[in-house]
Amino acid sequence: MKAAVWHDTKDVRISNIEEPSVQPGAVKVKVAWTGICGSDLHAYHHGIGVQTGQPHPLTGRMAPLTLGHEFAGTIAELGEGVTGLAAGDRVAIEPLIYCRECSYCRQGKYNQCEQFGFVGLNSDGGFGEYAIVKPYMVHKLPDNVSLEEGALVEPTAVAYHAVRQSRLHVGGKAAVFGVGPIGLLTILSAKAAGAAQIVAVDVSDERLEKAKEVGATFTINSAKENAAAKILELTGGVDVAYEAAGVQATFNDAMTVIKKGGEIMVIAAFAKQPQIDLLQLMVKEANVTSILAYRHIFPEVISLIAAGQLDVKKVITKKIELDQLVEDGLELLLHDKSQAKILTRIGS
């Protein structure tokens, strides 16, 4: 089968590899669509996140590995002992790898598992024609949710988990710093959660136009005007600032614009450790919180997409074929800031 295999930094090869066989207790999925995530970009450009050096303790796998963890498709085959699913089921994949035995897993906090990992980084993933996953990763899609939308369930789950874990309330005010795919999905999620005002901040006019389309009340290009001053002028301060950019300047602005008792919810990974003005945090009696991935949220996200409450199709800016993944995906996203979510067609 054809797959995009990570070998090293800047070395992802579209190769013909052996089609995987389903094992007892596993599910074989014929992949239809896979999204390109920031984690895929980190893996390609910086070699960050991919299992190297030694096999992952739960999967027994290490590079070279097929990338991709935002994917949906159709069940091709069930391993012995798998129940509740059938060949032909249309499904979205929740790609978290966890042990189900450590104290965090037993508390239901499986995204904090001591051996936490991702399909597509710590095992073979969705940039291949077929993928082998565990039954607990498989979520059926309603008939009115397309496989393209199914591939967007995973990144939407990240954004929705951030909103759900935050202190945002119905009628509250929010700011979203950084409106790449996760930022855009955070706007959608905050709107679905009842935010009355949502301010989007970015340095790309194209992305800010997309932010308006998905529901931002106001947009600010922070390369052209003082974002913090403008947010305070427009809102008087926000209840929650979602940090989806991952840079010091946006974190500083987030600290400035939250109300007393407000919250900064960190979603982005910071390349450089940020400095925090603890005095300002204390004076405001504010909170800085964060999330890692998601937990117990895929069914809710799928239901909201099916009901039209989360129109995730709006964040798609480009669709490509698997053969184009490197040039028109992993390389393009590094310099073309007008792009949001690029979906890759894997199967017919």
- The domain that holds 20 is classified in CATH as 3.90.180.10
* Residue 11: inside a domain: yes
Give the gyration radius of the chain's Cα atoms: 20
Q: How confident is the model over 156-172, as pLDDT tens digits?
A: 999 999 999 999 999 99
Are residues 175 and 145 part of one domain? no
pLDDT, residue 348, reads: 65
* Residue 19: inside a domain: yes
* Domain CATH number, residue 271: 3.40.50.720
107 pLDDT band, cuts 50/70/90, is very high
Q: Is the pLDDT confidence value at 42 over 70?
A: yes
* Residue 14: inside a domain: yes
Are residues 181 and 131 part of one domain? no
Summarize the confidence of residues 181-193 as an average pLDDT. 98
Give the span between the Cα atoms of 292 and 97, in whole angstroms: 13
H helix intervals, the chain: 38-46, 103-106, 147-151, 153-165, 181-192, 205-214, 227-235, 248-257, 278-284, 298-306, 325, 332-335
347 pLDDT band, cuts 50/70/90, is confident
Are residues 191 and 170 part of one domain? yes
Are residues 274 and 236 part of one domain? yes
* Residue 301: inside a domain: no
Are residues 268 and 167 part of one domain? yes
Are residues 163 and 144 part of one domain? no
Are residues 9 and 145 part of one domain? yes
Summarize the confidence of residues 118-127 as an average pLDDT. 98
* Residue 296: inside a domain: no
Boundaries of domain holding 124: 2-151+311-345
**Residues near 34 by Cβ (< 8 Å), separated by ≥ 6?**
68, 70, 71, 125, 126, 127, 151, 343, 344, 346
Are residues 47 and 8 part of one domain? yes
**Beta carbons of 127 and 346 less than 8 angstroms apart:** yes
Are residues 87 and 206 part of one domain? no
Summarize the confidence of residues 118-131 as an average pLDDT. 98
Are residues 174 and 143 part of one domain? no
Are residues 177 and 101 part of one domain? no
Q: How many domains does the chain have?
A: 2
Residue 64 is classified by DSSP as: S
- Match 């798609």 to its residue by tokens: 316
Q: For the chain, what percent of residues have pLDDT higher than 70?
A: 100
**Residues near 300 by Cβ (< 8 Å), separated by ≥ 6?**
160
Q: How confident is the model over 206-250, as pLDDT tens digits?
A: 999 999 999 999 999 999 999 999 999 999 999 999 999 999 999
pTM comes to 0.97
Summarize the confidence of residues 248-259 as an average pLDDT. 98
Which of the pair, 270 or 106, is modelled with greater confidence? 106
Are residues 133 and 34 part of one domain? yes
pLDDT, residue 337, reads: 85
| Among 301, 242, 238, CA closest to 268 | 242
